[in-house]
Structure 1
């Protein structure tokens, strides 16, 4: 797993032995890997809307704006309230991307939270949270079919 900390967005990359279909299926099984909060709504079809909420910590409403099986999933954050930063709506208008590609006999997943940049207050906490979810929950789900223990949500 590699991480890129540039001026544009938080990005992390996984390279796994599983097929693009297995990676895609794990990503769209959001309730299994994005743990620590409650998820309401559908998460796996174009125009689906869902809410991820951790009481008194954060609220994010997402809309699936692009989905191509075995290739990509993109969520638009249509509303957010991060209770631990001054600008509670820092995530609103950002995008969460999962880009899947075949790399030889492996599958590459590039996770990007577009708009989560070092200049925003939640960058350190939120990028750590995404790292825990992507590496600690999504990666084991992809590689073993089961989630690891629930990472702490921040």
Structure 2
């Protein structure tokens, strides 16, 4: 069965705070960031040593949704170094009745049959449950540091 990687984060913050944190990529994912990620059709690149990922902001719904499309990638440790190309990284934000925001993250196309699934899902868990959640709740994330 092919399931896209997904995760859920609940925080006692507004959807606007969650949305703004997501769009401040260098504050939670990696400081090795070029471009812009704040407007529709913005393009940006993140790097992790030899690995790079180029993304385009494919959808933005203020305070509710962010979707990035992977337009190019090079993951040096994989046989198919462009395994992420064509995948979509989706952030859906929902407010519940208890003054909480629920962030539903889905990496569409990052499925368990891919070579990088285990490594990449572990990395996403760290970035989402650790760094992004910390940025939302405390105002300080733990992104990868500049090279």
Provide the residue aligned with 1:19 in structure 2.
Answer: 14
Give the total of aligned pairs: 144
TM-score, reference length from structure 1? 0.89
Instruction: Give a deviation string over 1:1-35, Cα, whole Å, max 9, x none.
Output: xxxxx722000001111000010010011110002
Which of these residues, 64, 70, 73, is aligned with residue 71 of structure 1?
64
Provide the residue aligned with 2:121 in structure 1.
Answer: 127
Q: Does 1:86 align with 2:55?
A: no
Distance 1:79-1:150 versus aligned 2 partners, 3 A rule: closer
Unaligned 5+ residue runs, structure 2?
A: none
| 1:150 shift after superposition | 4.3
Q: Does 1:116 align with 2:110?
A: yes
- Helix, strand or coil at the partner of 1:109: strand
Unaligned 5+ residue runs, structure 1?
A: 1-5
Task: Report the aligned-residue RMSD.
Answer: 1.4
- Contact 1:133/1:151 (8 A) holds in 2: no
Q: Does 1:101 align with 2:130?
A: no
- Contact 2:13/2:137 (8 A) holds in 1: yes
- Contact 1:132/1:151 (8 A) holds in 2: no
- Contact 2:43/2:54 (8 A) holds in 1: yes
Provide the residue aligned with 2:27 in structure 1.
Answer: 32
TM-score, reference length from structure 2? 0.93
Distance 1:142-1:64 versus aligned 2 partners, 3 A rule: same
